[in-house]
Amino acid sequence: MKRLIFLLSLISLSTLSAQTILTYHHNGLRPGDTITTQEIEYVEPGSAGENQVWDFSGLKFTGKINTSCLPENPLQGRQGTTDYNVVMKEDDRVYYFSLDDNAYIEQGFTTGNTSIIYSDPIIRLKFPFAYGQTFTDKYLGDAVYCSNSIIPVAGDYTVTADATGTLILPGMIIRDVLRVKTEKNAFQVNPCNITESKVIRYMWYAPGARYPVMGTSYTEHKITSREPQVIKASFINPQDAGLQLVTGDHVYLNHVADYSVVTYPNPFQEKLDYVYLLRKPMKVTVELLDVSGKELFVIESKTGQAEGLHFGELDAYRQNLSMGVYYLRFTFGGETHVSKVVKM
């Protein structure tokens, strides 16, 4: 419970003057890293396009934690998987990747007694990659079962940087986020049936974060004469998102306020910016108080502020503010939120 309270009270913000662009140096897999993700109940990915607002502040944690490891010394491959320089161990699977300044390529993977080896591997991502870019790569390989049964596999993999915008997580507003959509279609002819599968993933990349801060996936498997199997999953990456890891069998965020607010940078020197999200139209007042709680002046007062994201600033030079502690008091309808800020 203490950790949950800390999560809800944590306020942070990532900003970047330009849009997020994925590069090898900033977003490539890095040997030696451990990526810990926390499962949440499935959420719909939302719309594509520019200036989107994805409000996931009411997400629910399932309590399941997943860990992916990238050994500093790559393991020896299996069944002909040799052209790789990065290995990822994820649950019962081991993936083999080749990575350079231009691309991130999956050469194959192993799980249990099965190995998938691509003669024409999958290009997972090209570098650099920015909003509006897209490509499709066809792949071909073999599924090797128990070292002797070989079945051809084929398909296509499409990657699109389909959206940019603001991602809202519990107690957090992250701007300039890039969303990347991937769609993998696979086709496999077995001795007794035909297997088709489709996997659609959405990954949200934040400025300054190497790995996605959030992801969601939809998987559909079809086997001849059987009902399709559908699996939906979502996760957040607490490390890269700047969130406290929540543990426990089932932890939920049951209450979502009608507003969220962030101030930055804090401490500040010349200007303090603030962002607030309204989940419904309401009256908004923003006031500056001194350390004793005395009102100094009203920064803004709106009798009918619209639903959505709103931005404002406090100019210390214009208001002739001296160094010290101040408070920003936000009044949203009938509720009050106070943020302590420090002028350097």
Q: Tens digit of pLDDT per residue, the chain (344 long)?
A: 333 333 333 333 333 334 589 999 999 999 999 999 999 999 999 999 998 889 888 888 888 989 999 998 765 544 455 689 999 999 889 999 999 999 999 999 998 888 899 999 999 999 999 999 999 999 999 988 876 778 899 999 999 999 999 888 876 778 889 999 999 999 887 777 788 999 999 999 998 889 999 999 999 999 877 888 999 999 999 777 665 555 544 343 444 578 888 788 889 999 988 888 888 899 999 999 998 888 999 999 998 899 888 889 999 999 999 999 999 999 999 888 888 899 99
pLDDT the model gives residue 155: 96
CA distance linking residue 327 with residue 87, whole number of Å: 49
CB neighbours of 102 closer than 8 A, spacing ≥ 6? Answer: 24, 126, 127
> What backbone phi and psi angles, to 5 degrees, belong to 27?
-130, 5
Q: What angle do CA 311, 316, 317 make, to 5 degrees?
A: 125
**Whole-prediction pTM value?**
0.75
Q: Read off the tokens for 249.
A: 């069998």
Burial 57-73 (b: 16+ CB within 10 A, else e): bebebbeeeeebebeee
Written as one letter, the residue type at 258 is D
What confidence score (pLDDT) does residue 14 get? 37
Q: Of 94, 269, 82, 275, whose CA–CA distance to 173 is shortest?
A: 275
pLDDT of residue 242: 63
Interatomic CA distance for residues 154 and 263, integer angstroms = 50
Q: According to the model, what pLDDT value does residue 45 have? A: 96
pLDDT of residue 57: 81
pLDDT at 201: 98
